[in-house]
Structure formats: structure tokens, C-alpha cells
Amino acid sequence: MTADAIADGSEPEDTEQPREFTRLGEYRLVQRLGEGGMGVVHLGLDRHGRAVAVKVLRQHVAHDPDARARLQREVETLRRIRTPRVAPILDADVDGVTPYIVTRYVPGPALDDFVAERGPLAPADLHRVASGVAEALDTIHSAGIVHRDVKPGNVLLVDGDPVLIDFGIAHVADDIRLTLTGLVMGTPGYLAPEVVGGEDVTPATDWWGWAATTAFAASGTPPFGRGTMSAVLARVARGEPDLRAVDPRIEPLLYAALSPDPADRPHHGEVVAALECYAHGAPVTEAIRVRTRQPTQLLATNALPVTPAAPMGDAMAAAGGAAGALAQSDAAPSPGGVLTPPPASVAAPPTPAPGAGHQQLTGPGSSVPESESDWDAARLGHGPYGDPRIGRPKRSGTLLALLALFATLTAAAPLLALLVLFGWATLARTADRSVTSLVMRRHQRGARGSDVAVAVATSPWHLVIGALGAALTMVAPLVVGICAMFATALVLTALTGRDAAADGVMPLVTAAFFAALTAWWGPGGASLRRGSRSIVRGVSPGGKAVRVVVAALLAAAAVLGAASAAADGPTWWPRPTAPGWIDEVIPRF
């Protein structure tokens, strides 16, 4: 069956994000621009045809009050900022069924994509980008806001000028609700060391991320490398960036700006001025006190639990808790006020003795993503931390074959078909609730060995809720199906000039078709769609099995259809009634 083969190669399921060229509020969605674990960013058009960026929460987290509250905070944050260096908010609906916000569309690549394609920025371009992001940060800090996630992926370039985006975890200085002990959100490698150490979020947090972003733009590589999250955060906390790929003329400058101690960092205005000198070929560090690398020792650390969180456009990683206190000596400047640049190689930190305290990113019995590849996999729905429904084939061909079988079963035995539809809706909703519950549990607590046991233990509850949901949402499909049945009988009577039975093959097939469409796209249909696709994927994993299942379903539909056409009316089983009751309920026209 080619329909399912086509479906397997179509766009992946994304937990019922709005499709392209459909409307969301007053906006027509045109193209998907980016996505994360919590939401998707679409290119949209307003009613005047102007391009906008529409950030939409994924449906499986839209019911989460925390996710909606974070979106509401982003709306409130953006409304307080007025600068061309930040995409302004245009509209928002955070209370609807599908929460979204609308911002100005920025038609340019992210800094990380630009550097990956073209390499490190030239001196003049580096100064232009660094000064532009600094201008954006000055403005948002003046509004009492800390961005908290300044990184290359959140800097878009428009004709070389930067625009700062993604305020999903922005911190409002006077909002104590955002100060949570043990929960620090951001991106490893661009998360300031004082925040890793459990201190408060301040504007210095953004300036450190700005310096790390500038170092990336100057070198083309993450300044604190890649690898496990624990290794990256340890290098951040010790202030040990790898700047070997940076121009030696600005290496001491960036090394100073990435000091783990905010008091040792040069003012951002000095850094911008130094980069302007660099752009013109003048000496950079003559007037700036920079630091040399001093031996550091990890004195003590605490457990550092990590809670993954992904805002729209570019998903973020999260790290919480407190890292250990670090001993960092102040370096004395050499004559002339300029210190010797750090050596190219960095000695590995001492290995703690058995039983000694060490930095760990997982709590007892839990497991969370530690490497960037794990986070990337989670954003795409892979691995134990992502939604397993993301990036999977929709199995549209198999579902259409099931619709054909349901329609012919309705023509043969309408009441039995109704019971089958109710049973399928119950199973689909149960499956959807179970998977969503697992995804949300891992999102909040990390992957654990008890996940399977918890899923089994809660399955009866999910079944009960699934059955109740199926019963409530069956009303509209039933009404629509009955109306379609009588309407088809009327049309056939008008076309043929003969009385058409409302319980004939064509009226019943039409009723089944419209009832199924109403259940699929009507109230509560998202859960039915997700669950149905999960069940179908489980029964026919892919390849030849899909074609075999589709062929079997179509063959069964053909047999039932032929039998219904040859029979003298449908069988009203399993409801035992006296012959002729149907003539009293469904008259002939």
C-alpha cells in the first residue's frame, strides 16, 4: 500500500502542532522555523500579509500550568523592552487551547549556524556583533530583566547586526517567584559560574554569557568544550576556557571576561572598546587588567540535580542545585598592567579519593542527560528524555485503511461498530495519557529505573480517565453521524426518485465517515490522534509489516462491504429487539 509508504516519509508527528498553511488565531502558519522540547516556532503571516514569528507550545505540555506561566512571563518580559536589538512582541494568547505568542520575524540565521557555515567572525564583524548584543543587554537590564540564556543560538543576525531572542526563562529582578532554591535554568557552557555555584541571578550572569558567546564567535568552537554536562560545568566553575582557536591578540581579553569571579572581569564597555581597537588593528589589552591561570582546587561540592527544560525555537538545558565552593587566587599584573596569557593546555583536575565529595548531576536513582548529544536527542524526541512520539511516522495510510474497515463494519452492524469505536477511543486515550505522563515525569524528575513500574501501576487510572473521555467525546460524533445518515438517505431519494432506507449501505457508510472525522478532529481529538498513531506504530513497526497490515485491513473492508451490499439491511446486533423496531426509529423515505 503506497499510502502508508508516503506517510512514513512525510513530516514527522510533533504532538499535534498546527499544520502549515492553517490558521492560529489571526495568523496563517507558513513554515516551521525551529523547535524545542516545549514548543515550536513557525513563520506566520498576519491578516495584512506581514511576516511574524509564532511560538506555539506543544500540545502535550500546554496543559502544564508551569509551561503556560513561563510563556506568560516571556510575554510580560518582552512588553517591557523597547530596542531594535530585541524582537518585540506583537500578540499573544496564553490562555487558549493552543497557547502562543507572536513576535517580529527576524529574517536571519542564528549566530551558531552562521559561524558553523562560514567560520569565525572577522575582527570588524566580531566587534559589530558583540557591541550589538551588549546594547540589547544594556536595554533589558535597564528594564530590570535578566535574560539568563545568552548564547549563540539566541542571537540572530540580520545583515550582520544581532537581534537577541528567546526570553523564555528571563528573570525579572523584582519577581521573587522566579527565585527557586536548587533550580537553575540555562545552557551548559554558557551558564555563568556564579549561577552554577548556587548564587543569585544578576546582570553579571548575562555579561558572562555574552563573553562566552563572543568567544565562540571569535573561535568557532564552544569556549568550554563539549562532552558530559558535569565536565563542561566543572570547566566553567574553574574558569578554564579553551581559547586556543582565538586570535592571540584578544585571547587575554576574553580569558579575563570569562573569569569565575565577577569582580575580576573587565567591564563590558571596556571589552567592547577593546574589540573596536582590535577591529582597527590597534593593541587590545593595554588598558585592561587581565588575569593569568592559577592552580585551582575543588574544595567541596554538593549534589547538582538537573531538570531538563526546553523553551521554543532553541531548546535549553537546565541545571540546578549548588556546585562546590572554589578557591581562586587573584593574579598580580605584570609590569605594564598586562598579564601573561594562559597556557594553551590545561591540566586535568585532580581525581577525588574514594568516598570524597565530588560533583554529580544526578540524584539517587535518577538519570538525566549529561552530554550535548543527549540534549539534542531529547529535543528530537529520541532517547529516554524526549517524547517518543516526536519524529515518528504518522501511519496515515494504515489509519485510512482502518477508517475503510470501520465504515464497512458500520454498514454491516452499526451498533457493533459503535462499540468498536468507543473501545478504540478508550485505548487510544489511555495510551496517550500513559506516554504523556511518562514524558512529563521525566521532564520534571529525569529518567529513572522505576519509570516502567510507575507506568504499569498508573495504567488502570489512565484507563478509567480514557474511558470517561471517550464517552464524553462520543456525543458529537454520534450526532453528526446520525445527521449524515439521514441527509444521505434524502439525497439518494432525490437523485433516484425511489425511497431510500436510512439504514442502507451508503447512508451508514457516510455516517461512519463523518462520525470518525468528527471524533478525529473534534473536541478532544488531539488525544485520540496521538494515541491512535502510537497504537498503530506498535502493531506495525514499519517496512513490509505496514504493507501487510494495510492490505489485510483493506481486504477485510472489501469483504464486509460486499456482504453488506448483498444483505437485506444491516444486522442490529448486539442489541436484541423484536423484528421491525428499526422501521419505527429509522423511517424509509
Which residue did the predictor score with more confidence, 199 or 333? 199
Q: 487 near 512, Cβ under 8 Å?
A: no
- Map 311-325 to HEC letters: CCCECCCEECCCCCC
Quote the cell numbers at residue 108. 536571519
Among 402, 343, 392, CA closest to 530: 392
Q: Which of 3-7, 145-149, 152-156, 230-234 has the lowest mean pLDDT?
A: 3-7
| Dihedral Cα 351, 352, 355, 361, nearest 10 deg | -90
Which residue did the predictor score with more confidence, 77 or 362? 77
Mean pLDDT, the chain, integer = 74
149 catalytic? Reply is yes
- Express as a percent the part of the chain with pLDDT over 70: 70
Q: Torsions phi, psi of 369, nearest 5? A: -60, 135
Q: Torsions phi, psi of 28, nearest 5? A: -100, 125
pLDDT at 155: 93
Which residue did the predictor score with more confidence, 180 or 127? 127
Q: What is the pTM of this model?
A: 0.48
* Domain 2-104 -> CATH class: alpha beta
Per DSSP, the residues of 357-399 read ---BS--TTEE---BHHHHHHHHTT-TTTS-TTTT----HHHH
At 191, is the secondary structure helix, strand, or coil? coil
**Cα–Cα distance, 256 to 342 (Å, whole number):** 10
Length of the chain: 589
**Cα–Cα distance, 519 to 391 (Å, whole number):** 24
- Give yes or no for residue 389 having a pLDDT over 80: no
Q: 36 near 315, Cβ under 8 Å?
A: yes
The mean per-residue pLDDT over the stretch 526-533 comes to 87
pLDDT at 21: 61
Q: Which of 23-37, 77-91, 227-241, 374-388 has the lowest mean pLDDT?
A: 374-388
- CATH architecture type of domain 111-323: Orthogonal Bundle (1.10)
pLDDT digits (tens, 9 = 90+) for 554-571: 999 999 888 888 888 888
Find the DSSP H helices in 446-589: 451-473, 475-496, 505-521, 525-539, 544-566, 581-585
pLDDT digits (tens, 9 = 90+) for 495-528: 988 888 888 899 999 999 999 999 998 888 888 9
Which residue did the predictor score with more confidence, 367 or 32? 32
Quote the cell numbers at residue 204. 553579571
Domain with CATH 3.30.200.20 in the chain: 2-104
pLDDT at 18: 64
- Give yes or no for residue 50 having a pLDDT over 60: yes
Which residue did the predictor score with more confidence, 108 or 195? 108
Task: Indicate which residue of 4, 149, 242, 314 is catalytic.
Answer: 149
pLDDT digits (tens, 9 = 90+) for 79-108: 878 888 888 888 888 888 888 888 888 888
Give the pLDDT band (50/70/90) at residue 478. very high
Q: Which of 55-59, 463-467, 469-473 has the lowest mean pLDDT?
A: 55-59
- Containing 308, the helix (H) or strand (E) segment is none
pLDDT at 572: 81
pLDDT at 407: 92
pLDDT at 321: 31
pLDDT at 360: 33
Give the pLDDT band (50/70/90) at residue 371. very low
The mean per-residue pLDDT over the stretch 295-314 comes to 35
Q: Torsions phi, psi of 493, nearest 5? A: -65, -40
pLDDT at 584: 54
- Map 436-461 to HEC letters: HHHHHHHHHHCEECCHHHHHHHHHHH
- Express as a percent the part of the chain with pLDDT over 90: 27
**Cα–Cα distance, 126 to 106 (Å, whole number):** 20
Q: How many CA atoms lie within 13 A of 435 on its CB side?
A: 23
pLDDT at 243: 92
Q: 158 near 106, Cβ under 8 Å?
A: yes
pLDDT at 5: 38
Domain with CATH 1.10.510.10 in the chain: 111-323
pLDDT digits (tens, 9 = 90+) for 400-452: 999 999 999 999 999 999 999 999 999 999 988 888 887 777 666 666 778 77
Highest mean pLDDT, choosing among 163-172, 319-328, 347-356, 474-483: 474-483
Give the pLDDT band (50/70/90) at residue 376. very low
